[in-house]
Amino acid sequence: MIDVDSFEPFYRNAMNLKIVLAQTDSLVGNASANFNRIFEIVTQVHNSLAFDLIVFPELCITGYPPEDLLFRRDFISESNNVIFELANIAPEIGIVVGFSEFDGEKLYNSAAVLSQGSVCAIYRKQKLPNYGVFDEQRYFTAGGEPCVFEFKGQFIGLNICEDVWNFDVVQKTKEAGADILLTLNASPFHSGKAQQRESLIGSHAKATNLPIIYVNCVGGQDELIFDGASFVANAEGEIVFRAAEFEEQISVVEFENGQPIQTICAPIYTPICSDYKALVCGIRDYVRKNGFKGAILGLSGGIDSALVLALAVDALGAENVEAVSLPSKYTLEMSSGDAKTQAEIMGVNYHSISIEPAVKAFTQMLAEIFAGTPNDTTEENIQARCRGVVLMAMSNKQGKLLLTTGNKSEMSVGYATLYGDMCGGFAPLKDVPKLLVYDLARYRNSLSPVIPERVLTRPPSAELAPNQCDSDSLPPYEILDPILARYIEQNQTADEIIAAGFMIEDVTRVIRLVDGSEYKRRQSATGIRISERAFGRDRRYPITSGYHGV
């Protein structure tokens, strides 16, 4: 339930128009639940405040992105029918909502304006993004006309998300007679996205002399995170209001003589803080929306699992998180000690279960088949897979989500064991490079010290063999991560990376590892996207391929 008492700072009494920005979290695929949520908000706010118009995010009826649910006629019919039900909630106010509109032949990403008990305007999104994480041209037909509606003496234009990133659409809406522009958005987070939005939309507002109201959704949806951070730019391009990041928030902004009045602006977080909050949001909503009873993870005493434990506790509460140490004969005593220490600090339920009996059993079972062959990564992987079996068994028995703890650097080069440490249902660090793992861990410790200092300072190791370190198999992360960023996120060639100052041996080795590990990544758990190019929706390479980067 949203606390209406918190609305008071966001508005004043005297104005021409009061517009409510409803920064909300929809459940993809459940139009009925989303209708009920909108009904609850409209009713609650209507009973508590005086306002004229309330604006919800893009596709708030279906949730975003609904993906191939949009091919189901029953789902589309429900979404269309909800619009007419909403029109009768509070006929004396205006409601603007995003929905999937089917006109009998084509499907549109649309916004409906509801007033006086009827649908008084519909806008169809003109720019359908089909890059990165977006597939809108797979489902929708593009609209071709601007939409401006008159409401209590103001002429208000509508855009939907990608539209407002294109100056020509904003300009045409202005030319169609808009005094104010409303834009409904489902704009996913990546590091630095909030600043990028405000800079671009602010410049459009200034260039057109048109105030812009930007309402964004919030919450986690599989790998995507929506960060909210809704805002209002005045006709000079100045930000006069900003909602909080990563929180549902209902805000009222006053317009006087067609211009928004300066009010409270929530702060924009630092990049490291935003990244951390995005990861917390992703874990919380994946567990909550999928009905898990909590989360479980293997706690090794290393930096990756230490960070995942901190994120999980911050997302779900200590009472809903379980940590399991799974030592083998190669596990150092300090690793087990550090794992136990962090579990105690964070107050989670903690277990230590030796995998040695299982490893011995598998070794004996395979002894005849393996006879005459030297030990290699096969024996190391058996250890990791024994851990996976234990963790998955606990996950199944308790109804808790198993969080994998691998990071983006490891997934890039295949430094992970299929059906071993890759076991699990959700990968919080899948888009977090190793160096950023350390930065996030230090950030979390700056809030309160929960990760033992030794975990932050000792060399990382899988501890699957005597005296093993990651650097035995990989270049140092200070070299590896920048190469990966250039090859994966920036699409640079080997020659370009070498020209940037990296050793040819390192570049060649890393690119070969990346190219040869697609089959592993395709089988990995869904993970949270925080960069501009994550594995999954953003980067879709064939497994069977004759292409080689070197």
State the catalytic residues: 58, 125, 161
- Asked if the peptide bond before residue 459 counts as cis, ω within 30 degrees of 0, the response is no
Q: How far apart are CA 241 and CA 226, in angstroms?
A: 19
Residue 258 CB contacts under 8 Å (≥ 6 apart), including other chains: 16, 154, 179, 180, 211
- Is the Cβ–Cβ distance between 260 and 253 less than 8 Å? yes
Dump strand ranges (E) for 5-144.
17-23, 53-55, 94-102, 107-115, 118-124
Q: How far is Cα of residue 81 from the mean position of the Cα atoms in its chain?
A: 29
Length of the chain: 550
Give the closest residue to 404 by CA, choosing from 383, 425, 384, 387: 425
Helical H runs in 426-467? 434-447, 453-457
Q: How far apart are CA 435 and CA 361, in angstroms?
A: 37
For residue 79, what is the enclosing H or E element? helix 73-86
Q: How far apart are CA 10 and CA 240, in angstroms?
A: 11
